[in-house]
Structure 1
Amino acid sequence: MGGQYKITGDRYPRMRPARRRGRFAFVAVACATVVGVAGWGTLQLIDVFTGGDKASAAGAAAGCRTTGASASPAAVAVPKPAQVTVNVLNATTRGGLAQKTADELKKRGFRIGDVSNAPKEFDKKVGGAGVLLGPAASLKTSLSVLGTQLPAAERRTDAARKGATVDLIIGDGFKGLAKPADADAALTALAAPQPTPSGEKKNC
């Protein structure tokens, strides 16, 4: 045979071109790159499933701040019944109801002021059990204490009213004061309220 595949007798003829060594080098580099990338990815996965979560949790905890009011309610000085003066006013057509109610309140420790019929603005105009009326400052103090004796009564305040005396205006739905045991339990709870959740909010 002649040309490139000429037989000289000292070696076997080559029937195909010589392989290029550059290809082997390229393949080797490519394999090394793939193995390196795969190893790096594996390390990242291990970090995520071990220390990465802990670090993220610690960062989140450090970055979150809790805001909101205290779980304990603000302390309010609740007066004792002996410190509360009550005017008992009858807005119904039933005679003697104001005096009877005033006597019962007195037995329970309250101080009694006026005992009479209700003024025109309330007379025969109270359909419920009654109305507890006092100055604005009495809403969480004297009115709350008086409210333990008649829980169904409506509570109102008058910003223009002076003094600390409160009114119990008896309405058509009045059937009597709360039972002494129930009223005492309500007074105890009022004097020592339990802490309530305040709706905390986390800012992250």
Structure 2
Amino acid sequence: MALDATTIPDWTLKGELILNCNCTVFCPCVVSLGKHPPTEGHCQTWGGVRIDQGQHGETDLAGLNVGLMIEIPGMMSRGNWKVALFIDDRATDAQYDALVSIFSGASRGTTGLFKILVSEILGHERQPVTYETEGKTRHITVGRKIQGVVTPVGGKDEDKDLVITNTQYWMGPDITVASAQKGKLRAYGRVWDFDGRSAEICQIDWHGPR
């Protein structure tokens, strides 16, 4: 039986997300909401999520991390995304299932757009996922699949990040402009090296199913 919003548990995720993509400059999808093509005509991106607080029904998700791989053949809004999920290997079976449900869009809410835009889940698997912050720099590793180092782009005031605020971007309204000192992915037949390319940092406050 298909789930509807009355049978999906309430869920929340609060924490931080980073993305690194193949765009040569800051990703145009943030301000165009997917109506402008990526700078290379297609999107290849990896991401990491640090969950500071979260729950899916009675299942606590705090303290876990998630890795993502997303491939989009053209403009973000036209769909046909391919996605792979890397779930923290510390997760219990219940936590694993909850995170797959959230990040596949099955739990609706903030990530529900994945059910519309994603044409194929390439896979989901357990991996050791670490997400660490050193000063302003974020370090993420996903087993041997992803190695990333992301730092905010400098502004005139060195004490303040360069932030695009009040957007309607699905991840969150305030996106910190960043770049990747290291952005390597080896997974599902993809070999990506996005060192020096566009990155984003976003504080997330997601929820569902409504």
Name the structure with the higher strand share. 2
Q: Which interval holds the TM-score relative to the shorter structure?
A: under 0.3
Q: TM-score, normalised by structure 2?
A: 0.26
Name the structure with the higher helix share. 1
Q: TM-score, normalised by structure 1?
A: 0.26
